[in-house]
């Protein structure tokens, strides 16, 4: 179970909703603007839409592309009262430039000006006079008061202009302040707005701030802001497809391969598009619902109907009053209709009451969802009756509408099985012995977590977390251990076969080994990998890692820093030759036992030559069962849509063209047609049937030309 913190993103690489493009343009505009004279920019959007993330992206691009620009982050929500806002604003400004000795004169000027403004604000509001800001800059209030405010401002403006340094203020969460605090903040910005070489970027909900200004000043808030802000940007509307993609990927991970079977996932999507889709409006909504499901779903998933559970959790998050109503009134929701209709009038009155309390925007969607969850309501809002003949089916399917299953949906237990800190410490200590690491990893493959994932997956991920704490010897032992038990790791963690899944497990292993290799001295790294290719057990993982290293070196800019960059092309060539020799000397049975054989053969053909691979694989036709096992390597599921479907259905697929370079497809077709199918398992039958259908389809397809 992994909860997502509701905190702003920091790097554009994390962008899932298309904000990085706008932030890049704004950053470039700020960088290219010469001698800005107090420019004020605003980022406008409601809460939860990612304003803070976009602000962070702008800051990231400015720091990356023009590091000489001074960035000052100021969050007024952290401080209370008018006096604190003034004081802390100048404190942040001063703290930033005080680090640069060349800006000492500006530091002093800011201190003087801050003291005067701070005192004026205190006097105007009735607060006691405070001197910490002036003292921070090394000046006393008494000497400051003798100076003219306008002259101090002119002095500061002159110093800022002469310095040639550009300052960018990021002021976030303005809409979280009280109306009085919002008023004071904009006073600060208004007073400082015309300083040279200073740019302000403000983020807020325009409606909230305009209303606050109207309450404080009794004037049109929008007109007031237009006098202060020179450039206003509304956050780009998040494409609904992006929101769905992010939500679905998180939901799929929550369900897991053994949780959301293909037919169940299909039903989850159908209920989602029947009324839940309108509830997801922004990234924060996704975090709220997926964090909830991460906690509540795994403990009960074997006892409930997943689509119903997802729907009732959406209701709990977005319509809490309705959730409480359902939970507390089982008899009005669960079970069949009373076929004598003795309670119909009472039910109509009850259900119309809660329905009227639902926001009108979502009322029809929520009504539809509740009818799906509780079929008896179809007789309240329509004429369809679900009588007692449905009870056994609902109970068998563990539906929420079943009287016997209803309570399970509202009783939460937390039973997670993750790698603890203690286990990680034991793992690190055990890394002195390669055999100990193998024992830990192999035993963890037998422990399946409640969400259907395997404990070894978490171990592989957690190793990356502690890689920096591991010395060379332990790193070497862990890498060798992974290579030596790799086949078991890969075969006990099946890869998800739909596009909404997480990355293949072997890719996580790639990244883990890449991190651990950092601990191997650069001049020894190539020799170390070569030694592994000669002696370690898992040919699949070895091929995968060498392939990964090869791609990293081919596109160094795309991956950035990588431990593989230190490996010479000559060492990489030796490693590939070593693997090709081992593959060539393997028996056919040994090859067929390799996980991800299709990937292995592809790389072997690229590194050696296809004829060598062909000669090795061709004898497969001599044994039908071996041939079927070989075909299974190329067997997968494609996705198809039917009318009315909200999600693609899985369809078995096997491209016979992809294997014709290794074997005679026609000869294999004849062998399998005559082979007694009654001796095959269900999976073998599906593989054979899919292969034969594909061959026949391509034979009849006149457009399938010479490539076939």
Q: What is the 3-state secondary structure (H, E, C) of 540-586?
A: HHHHHHHHHHHHHHHCHHHHCCCHHHHCCHHHHHHHHHHHHHHHHHC
Residues pairing with 167 in the sheet? 70, 198
Note the pLDDT of residue 498.
Answer: 37
The pLDDT value given to residue 123: 43
- 49-105 pLDDT, tens digit each: 888 888 899 999 998 998 888 888 887 776 655 556 666 777 777 776 666 666 666
Lowest-pLDDT range of 366-370, 490-494, 698-702: 490-494
The pairing of strands 635-640 and 649-654 is antiparallel
The token duo for 163 is 């310095």
Taking each helix axis from N to C terminus, what angle separates 505-516 and 455-466, rounded to the nearest 10 degrees? 30
Cα torsion angle, 355, 358, 364, 366, sign: negative
In 10 A of CB 619, how many CB atoms? Answer: 11
pLDDT in tens, 651-675: 788 888 888 888 888 888 888 888 8
Measure the CA–CA gap between 397 and 670, rounded to whole angstroms. Answer: 43
SS3 336: coil
Q: Is 270 helix (H, G, I), strand (E, B) or coil?
A: helix
Question: Is the confidence at residue 623, as pLDDT, over 70?
Answer: yes
Could you give the CA distance from residue 578 to residue 581 in angstroms, rounded to a whole number? Answer: 5
Q: What is the CA radius of gyration of the chain?
A: 33
Q: Nearest-CA neighbor of 201 among 22, 429, 357?
A: 22
**Exposure string for 149-162, b = 16+ CB within 10 A, e = fewer:** beebbebbbebbee
Instruction: Express each pLDDT in 481-494 by its tens digit.
Output: 999 998 888 887 65
Mean pLDDT of the chain: 80
Distance CA 624, CA 641 (A): 34
Looking from the CA of 271 toward its CB, the CA atoms found within 13 Å total: 22
And the tokens for 415?
């039973």
Q: What are the C-alpha distances in Å from 532 to residues 412, 437, 704?
A: 47, 16, 43
**Residue tagged 């969802």 (tokens):** 369
CA distance 482 to 476: 10
Of the candidates 661, 664, 663, 659, which has an alpha carbon nearest to the alpha carbon of residue 690? Answer: 659
More confident residue, 352 or 148: 352
- From 489, 555, 491, 482, select the one nearest 515 (Cα to Cα): 482
Question: For residue range 567-586, what is the model confidence (pLDDT) as tens digits?
Answer: 999 999 999 999 999 999 99
pLDDT: which is higher, 349 or 455:
349
**Of the given ranges (137-146, 206-215, 682-691), which has the lowest mean pLDDT?**
137-146
- Joined together, the tokens standing for residue 549 give 């290293």
Q: Of 167, 165, 197, which Cα lies nearest the Cα of 36? A: 197
Domain ranges of the chain: 12-234, 240-409, 521-621, 631-707
Question: Residue 366 pLDDT > 90, yes or no?
Answer: yes
Structure tokens given for 589? 């049975």
Running DSSP on this structure, what letter comes out for residue 448? B
Please check the confidence at residue 403 and state whether its pLDDT lies above 60. yes
Q: Please tell me the number of Cα atoms within 13 Å of 436 on its side-chain side.
A: 10
Q: Which two tokens stand for residue 551?
A: 């791609």
Distance between CA atoms of residues 647 and 649, nearest Å: 6
- For the domain with range 12-234, which CATH number is right: 3.40.50.300, 3.40.50.720, 3.40.47.10, 1.10.10.10? 3.40.50.300
Question: How many angstroms separate the Cα of 269 from the Cα of each of 17, 247, 264, 290, 660?
Answer: 21, 11, 9, 15, 38
Instruction: Output 642 or 30, whichever has higher pLDDT.
Output: 30
Question: Are 357 and 401 within 8 A, CB to CB?
Answer: no
User: In this prediction, what percent of the chain has a pLDDT beyond 70?
Assistant: 80
Confidence class for position 216, pLDDT limits 50, 70, 90 = confident
Residue 111's pLDDT band, with cuts at 50, 70 and 90, is low
Confidence of residue 707 (pLDDT cuts 50, 70, 90): very low
Query: Is the model's pLDDT at 205 over the cut of 80?
Result: yes
Give the contacts of 531 (CB within 8 A, at least 6 positions apart): none
Report the SS3 class of residue 495. coil
**Distance between CA atoms of residues 415 and 398, nearest Å:** 21
Residue 196: CB atoms within 10 Å: 18
| Number of C-beta neighbours around residue 578 at 10 A | 19
Spatial contact of 268 and 306, defined as CB atoms under 8 Å apart: yes
Pairing state of beta strands 635-640 and 231-234?
Answer: unpaired
pLDDT band at 677 (very low <50, low <70, confident <90, very high): confident
For residue 19, give both structure tokens: 């904000």
H or E stretch including 145?
Answer: helix 141-145
């Amino acid at each position: 179970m992994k909860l997502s913190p509701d905190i702003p993103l920091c790097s554009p690489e994390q962008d899932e909703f298309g904000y990085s493009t706008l932030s890049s343009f704004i950053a470039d505009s700020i960088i290219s603007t010469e001698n800005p004279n107090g420019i004020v920019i605003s980022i406008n959007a409601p809460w939860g839409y990612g304003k803070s993330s976009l602000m962070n992206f702008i800051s990231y691009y400015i720091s990356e592309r023009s590091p000489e620009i001074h960035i000052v982050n100021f969050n007024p929500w952290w401080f209370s009262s008018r006096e604190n806002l003034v004081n802390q604003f100048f404190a942040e400004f001063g703290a930033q430039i005080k680090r640069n000795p060349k800006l000492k004169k500006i530091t002093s000027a800011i201190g003087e000006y801050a003291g005067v403004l701070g005192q004026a604000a205190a006097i105007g509001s009735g607060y006691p006079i405070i001197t910490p800001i002036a003292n921070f800059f090394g000046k006393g209030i008494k000497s400051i008061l003798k100076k003219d405010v306008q002259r101090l401002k002119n002095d500061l403006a002159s110093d800022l202009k002469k310095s040639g340094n550009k300052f960018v203020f990021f002021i976030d969460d303005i809409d979280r302040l009280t109306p009085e605090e919002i008023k004071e903040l904009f006073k600060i910005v208004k007073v400082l707005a015309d300083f040279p070489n200073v740019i302000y970027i403000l983020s807020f909900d325009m409606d909230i701030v305009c209303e606050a200004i109207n309450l404080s000043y009794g004037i049109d808030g929008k007109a007031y802001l237009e006098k202060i802000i020179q450039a206003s940007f509304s956050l780009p509307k998040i494409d609904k497809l992006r929101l769905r993609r992010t939500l679905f990927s998180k939901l799929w991970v929550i369900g897991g391969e053994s949780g959301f079977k293909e037919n169940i996932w299909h039903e989850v999507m159908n209920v989602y598009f029947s009324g839940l889709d309108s509830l997801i409006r922004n990234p924060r909504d996704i975090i709220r619902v997926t964090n909830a499901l991460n906690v509540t779903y795994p403990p009960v998933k074997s006892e409930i109907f997943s689509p119903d559970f997802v729907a009732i959790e959406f209701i709990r998050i977005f319509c809490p009053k309705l959730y409480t109503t359902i939970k507390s009134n089982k008899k009005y929701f669960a079970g069949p209709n009373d076929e004598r209709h003795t309670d119909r009038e009472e039910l109509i009155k009850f259900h119309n009451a809660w329905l009227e309390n639902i926001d009108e925007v979502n009322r029809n969607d929520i009504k539809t969802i509740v009818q799906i969850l509780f079929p008896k309501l179809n007789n309240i809002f329509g004429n369809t009756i679900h009588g007692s003949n449905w009870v056994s089916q609902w109970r068998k399917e563990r539906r929420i509408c079943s009287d016997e299953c209803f309570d399970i949906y509202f009783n939460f237990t937390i039973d997670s099985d993750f790698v603890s800190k203690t286990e990680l410490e034991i793992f690190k200590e055990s890394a002195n012995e390669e055999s100990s690491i193998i024992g830990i990893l192999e035993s963890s493959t037998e422990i399946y977590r409640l969400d259907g994932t395997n404990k070894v997956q978490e171990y592989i991920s957690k190793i990356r977390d502690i890689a920096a704490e591991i010395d060379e010897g332990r790193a070497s032992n862990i890498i060798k251990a992974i290579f030596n038990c790799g086949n078991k790791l890969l075969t006990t963690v099946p890869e998800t076969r739909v596009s909404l899944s997480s990355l293949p497990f072997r890719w996580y292993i790639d990244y883990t080994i890449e991190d651990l290799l950092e601990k191997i001295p650069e001049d020894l790294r190539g020799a170390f990998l070569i030694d592994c290719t000669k002696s370690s057990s898992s040919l699949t993982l070895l091929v995968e890692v060498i392939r990964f290293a090869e791609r990293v070196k081919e596109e160094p800019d795309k991956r950035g820093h990588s431990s593989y960059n230190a490996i010479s092309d000559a060492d990489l060539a030796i490693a590939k030759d070593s693997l090709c020799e081992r593959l060539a000397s393997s028996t056919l049975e040994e090859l067929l036992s390799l996980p991800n054989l299709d990937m292995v053969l592809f790389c072997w053909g690229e590194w050696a030559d296809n004829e060598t691979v062909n000669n090795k694989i061709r004898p497969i036709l001599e044994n039908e069962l071996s041939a079927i096992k070989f075909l299974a390597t190329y067997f997968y599921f494609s996705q198809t849509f039917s009318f009315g479907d909200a999600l693609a259905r899985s369809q078995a697929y096997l491209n016979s063209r992809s294997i014709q370079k290794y074997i005679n497809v026609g000869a294999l077709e004849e062998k399998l047609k005559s082979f007694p199918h009654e001796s095959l398992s269900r999976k073998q039958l599906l593989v054979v049937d899919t292969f034969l259908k594909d061959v026949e389809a391509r034979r009849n397809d006149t457009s399938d030309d010479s490539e076939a």
